[in-house]
Chains A and B, each alone.
Chain A
Amino acid sequence: MNVKRIYIHPLPVRIWHWSNAAGFVLLILTGLQIRYRDILGLLSFETSVRLHNFVGIALMGFYLLWLVFYLTSDKIKNYQMELHPMKFYTAAIKQAVYYGYGIFRGSANPHHTSPYTKFNPMQKLTYDLIMLLVVPIQFLSGLLLWDVQRFAGAVAVFGGVRTVDTIHVLFFIFFSAFLPVHAYLATLGHTPGAHFKAMFTGYEEEFEHAKRT
């Protein structure tokens, strides 16, 4: 069986990924602590808020690094969507069928990884939405809540502090549900730890019948 080691994840991306992962875990935990002080008692409210604010602002910085990296690199092709609808839907359905059926039958992953196609069509759609819509909105709503008075005008435009908070919480719910699913999907490599290892080393191992997320 041929094994190809392909350099998929450059160092800046790996640093960003794991920082982002740790940050999001912290944001979710502190967010839970802030919101459910009556249930959780891991940290004081004050500490939770301070930590949440700190991590949130740090992640905004990391997000900017990620953005600058991809905007100045040809690797941005990884996020470029297939603009032909029929091609996209065909590929996406094939991928969904693989995850929902073929994977159990040992079928080959219809997607083949390369430095410029590291995401399959479903991943590409998901991460485009997350990185270009959900994360910015979450950061923006978090920023407004961080200093409601300073951003009072923007808060009012979005319908008031409760509306902004509701948006922030809705995406918090999304991330809380997404994170374990994302971690599980990362186990769908040729071994359960293959993608985790790749995100540390930068090299994905491409098998003839390799499976990936």
Chain B
Amino acid sequence: MTTIKRFRQGGRSPLLQGVSVLLLLAAHAMRPDAVGAVTASGPTWRACLSCHEDSALSMTTMKGEKVSLAVTAADIAGSPHRGVECRGCHPGVKLDAHPDGHAIASLAEFRSATSRACLACHPAESLRARSQHAAVVFEDQQFSCVECHGSHGVKSVAAWKRGFAPNDYCLVCHSRPLTLQRPDGTSMELAVDALKLRASVHPNHACADCHTGFSTSSHPAGAIGERNHRAIAAVRTCARCHADKLRQAEGSVHFTLLRSGAKGAPGCTDCHSAHEVAPKERFATLAGTPCRACHAKIFAAYAGSMHGKALASGDHFDAPLCSDCHRAHDVQGSGRPELVRAACIGCHPTAVALHSVWLPNATLHLGAVSCAVCHAPQAERVVALRLVEVNTGRTLTEREVADLTGGDVRAALNKAGSGMNGLDLWTTMRRLESRRQASAEKLDIVGRLEVVRGIDAHRLAGKSSAVRDCESCHTRGSKAFESVALTLATDDGRPKRFDASQGMLTDAASVVSVHGFYALGATRHRVLDWLLVLAVAGGLTVVAIHLAFRLRAARAHKEG
């Protein structure tokens, strides 16, 4: 767009100054008899210029577009076509009936029609030999010849290219709506908004800085790879200047997905865009955070939370956005709960102290209960059991378990789905442990109370709405402990849950299987309940029997 404007303003290239005239004449070329070999010898165009040198000469299309009909002698004299007579390109013009009053439908239609005149001397086959040319000019029919090459002031291609700054040359085509279809059916946007490019944080980058191998003389015709390959290629490009960010992103859930070939996995440009890279500060705004594009539902939940509302109010610019909890480049999901907890504590460093005022074992609670369990009070909860390395505390991922079990995690978890019990889980863990390298860490099962759905963890309510009554958890039959699931982190960072039996929290085997997770009252042993009844009843029975004998003996003593 900018490039075109410059042409119209008489900038570095004058080519388009005469385009409109050619377009008018091209109307005649649309006639069936119009396109033929150009055989004229000697310039007779001065006769035509007697009228068309008038710079005010113009006409209006049926769509109301004003088209200049002016042609300058200088244009023609400097053109490689200066030896071609006007009729060579305008064979249909009859000077005894010109103008003939033929109506022009639109400028675009005429631009397209001009190609027919050009093709008389420049066969389509030779143009198709250049794939990009063919794609843009013929397949998509987005450009007519005159738009790039001009009409009367046609220059040699080499001379024409010299008139452009490198980026402007690229934008001749890429400022237009260009898309290419990938083999997988998806399309790739090739258009670049020149204004936004200049407003980005990369205004002084040459296109070739990123698009290596491309220049005014080189346009490699590589096939457009599938989306992930392009994204990975873009990552490599960005990493040439932003290696530190790539190092951060290497272990992110996004890059893990990208490498695994997951559809839709984002690379750098999916968040930052390719050509409209915004300044860092933009990402710290509700409108500018890129996460919402892919995680719209979760973002909506967040926007309704106390955090989202605080940020939207404009009074709390320090309220967290997505990246404050999930990180910006080393993006992590809730599959690694320790990171989420660290994010909460990071902004609320006094949380432990404040909870300690009223909550016994506050540190333990804040470790064994996710913040959202109490601060998103409407959320459904689950006891998430994880397989962790004893010394490092690192949690096993679904992929690791799959590798150890030959791929079928659910089958390996024995009765998963129909309610695996504590012993199932314990024996499975031991089996996994035996299949690991001898040097590998010992495994353990760690429990944590979490919200079932990640979206609920984003619906954080204000402090006054948070759960504070202990009974809601520490009571047998509490809803908080109705669901139990072995939880494994997936590649995309989300927790994947494999249902387990609720009874595993209270049966005798729980002392072994979930020895690290216990909620007073709520997950108590049933066996111990019965033992208490039996012990107290037994003691009282002995007392009662002994007392009865004492009373009988005392009565006998009195009587006797």
Contacts and interface: CB of A to CB of B under 8 A. Distances in A.
Interface stretch (A2-10, A11-19, A85-93, A167-175): A167-175
B524 interface: yes
A45 B515 contact: no
A167 to B, nearest CB: 10
B222 interface: no
B531 interface: yes
Interface stretch (B79-87, B146-154, B533-541): B533-541
A117 interface: no
A166 B475 contact: no
Interface in B515-560: 515-518, 520-521, 524-525, 528, 531-532, 535-536, 538-540, 542-543, 546-547, 549-550, 552-553, 557
B358 A46 contact: yes
Main secondary structure on A side of the interface with B: helix
Contact of B547 (A149, A161, A177, A184): A184
Given A37-B471, A149-B364, A180 B516 contact: no
A173 B543 contact: no
Main secondary structure on B side of the interface with A: helix
Given A173-B531, A177-B535, A162 B553 contact: no
Please tell me the size bucket of the interface on A.
Answer: 35 or more
Nearest to A149: B363
Given A37-B521, A169-B525, A170-B528, A181 B543 contact: yes
Interface string A64-103: 0000000000000000000000000000000000010001
A34 B535 contact: no
A20 interface: no
A38 B525 contact: no
B514 interface: yes
Contacts of B392: none
Given A106-B557, A162-B516, A173 B528 contact: yes
Contacts, number: 104
B476 A37 contact: yes
Interface residues of B, number: 41
A105 B553 contact: yes
Nearest to B514: A162
Contact of B475 (A37, A165, A174): A37
A44 interface: yes
Nearest to A106: B557
A148 B476 CA distance: 21
A189 to B, nearest CB: 12
Contacts of B525: 166, 169
Task: Find the residue from B363, B469, B524 having the highest chain A CB count within 10 A.
Answer: B524
B529 to A, nearest CB: 8
A178 interface: yes
Contact of B550 (A38, A50, A103, A165): A103
A190 interface: no
B540 A161 contact: no
B557 A37 contact: no
A46 B531 CA distance: 26
Given A44-B471, A181-B539, A104 B552 contact: yes
Interface string B433-452: 00000000000000000000
B550 A46 contact: no
Contact of A169 (B477, B528, B550): B528
Nearest to A160: B515
A36 interface: yes
Contacts of B360: 49-50, 53, 146
Given A36-B521, A149-B364, A161-B515, A45 B470 contact: yes
Contacts of B550: 103-104
A104 B550 CA distance: 6
Contact of B521 (A38, A148, A149, A170): A38
B500 to A, nearest CB: 16
B404 interface: no
B511 interface: yes
B112 interface: no
A208 B524 CA distance: 51
A162 B471 contact: no
Given A44-B471, A163-B511, A106 B553 contact: yes
Nearest to B472: A45
A166 B528 contact: yes
Interface string A24-59: 000000000011111000001110011001000000
B475 A38 contact: yes
B367 interface: yes
B341 interface: no
A103 to B, nearest CB: 7
Nearest to B537: A177
A146 B474 CA distance: 16
15 contacts: A35-B520, A36-B521, A37-B475, A37-B521, A38-B477, A105-B553, A148-B364, A162-B517, A165-B518, A169-B532, A172-B532, A173-B532, A176-B532, A177-B538, A180-B543
Interface of A: 34-38, 44-46, 49-50, 53, 99, 103-106, 146-149, 159-163, 165-166, 169-170, 172-174, 176-178, 180-181, 184
Given A45-B471, A149-B363, A173-B531, 17 more contacts: A38-B475, A38-B477, A44-B471, A103-B553, A104-B549, A104-B553, A147-B361, A162-B518, A166-B528, A173-B535, A173-B536, A174-B535, A176-B536, A177-B535, A180-B540, A181-B542, A184-B547
Interface of B: 358, 360-361, 363-364, 367, 469-471, 474-477, 510-511, 514-518, 520-521, 524-525, 528, 531-532, 535-536, 538-540, 542-543, 546-547, 549-550, 552-553, 557
Q: Which 4 pairs from chain A and chain B are nearest by CB?
A: A160-B515, A177-B535, A104-B553, A45-B470
